Amino acid sequence: AESELVRSQRYESLALLAGGLSHDLRNILQPLLIAAPMIAERAGTDPSVRKFATMIETCAKRGMDMVASMLSFARGARQINPHLVVAQLFRATDLLLQGTRPRTMALEIEVEDEDLSVAGNETELQQCLLNLCLNAIQAMPPDGTLTLAAGRSELGRGDILEDEAAVPGEYVRLSVIDTGMGMSEEVRARLFTPFFTTKEGGTGLGLLSCRRIVENHQGVLRVHSRPGMGTRFDIHLPLRNVLPAAAQERAFDGAGRHV
Ligand code: ADP
């Protein structure tokens, strides 16, 4: 089971990486595609300028084709469910942890509202919760308590970092709270660095993929932790469905029904 988890984490990281890369690449190629024809137009009587402009355009187009196939790999069959019930996500996580969680370790589920739901990709969000829970379990003594809590939250301008795509507003907070060893400043600063791990045989990819997943949902991932005081990860996902139009389209079939 361990190696399957590691494999799925690797695959997911690769897909997420491809997604991020293709967005960046597209932003680089787009201006070339616009500029090249303009150069050709203004080439005047010099045929070599026109030739070079065409060359630039051809290459940029080829790059865009690669971006398109990278994006389709990254998206895969990425389905957005507009109505994922948080309590059900938590219960599914509990089930998935059955074999891994020591019997003496308590698991508590606290949801503000049984009907609380979010829009998102179920597989990704489940994977994210699972990663956070596995870390929590590994950080705790066998008699620790793992708490999965959810409620509404609000993020203001000051709560969102400059490089985050999230917008101020109402959110749903999904928290994974452990009574484990907590972490030092140093560990906390490096949490999302690829391959950073303090565990023997760790991948150091779990939290990075969590963050990418949350970012894919226009959400925000926060950590609160102190040595000896346990750790709390908060996933904030937009309360209203503000996923990109393309992602929303995939959640509906032609007749406008949910897929
Ligand atoms: P891995 O679990 O393979 O080490 P992660 O990216 O999931 O990779 O985690 C990176 C590191 O962050 C861990 O090695 C650990 O030091 C620290 N960490 C993550 N979650 C917790 C937690 N709940 N409590 C204490 N430390 C944690």
Cα gap 220→208, rounded to integer Å: 13
If you write DSSP's letter for every residue of 20-61 in order, what string do you get?
Answer: HHHHHHHHHHHHHHHHHHHHHHT-TT-HHHHHHHHHHHHHHH
Look at the block and give the residue holding tokens 């994006």. Answer: 71
The token duo for 24 is: 């960046």
176 lines ligand 1 (CB under 6 A): no
206 lines ligand 1 (CB under 6 A): yes
pLDDT tens sequence for the chain (259 residues):
556 666 666 777 777 788 888 888 999 999 999 999 999 999 888 889 999 999 999 999 999 998 888 887 777 656 788 899 999 999 999 999 988 899 999 999 999 999 999 999 888 899 999 999 999 999 999 999 999 999 999 999 999 998 888 999 999 999 999 999 999 999 999 999 989 999 998 889 899 989 989 998 999 999 999 999 999 999 999 997 545 544 544 444 333 344 3
183 lines ligand 1 (CB under 6 A): yes
204 lines ligand 1 (CB under 6 A): yes
Cα gap 49→38, rounded to integer Å: 11
191 lines ligand 1 (CB under 6 A): yes
How many Cβ atoms from other residues are within 10 Å of residue 186's Cβ? Answer: 8
Residue nearest to atom 8 of ligand 1 (CA): 204
pTM of this structure:
0.72
Those residues with Cβ within 8 angstroms of residue 187's Cβ, 6 or more apart along the chain or in another chain: 198
Query: How many angstroms is it from 134 CA to the middle of ligand 1?
Result: 9
On whether ipTM exceeds 0.90, the answer is yes
How far are the Cα atoms of 51, 52, 110, 208 from residue 40, in angstroms, in the given order?
8, 8, 63, 44
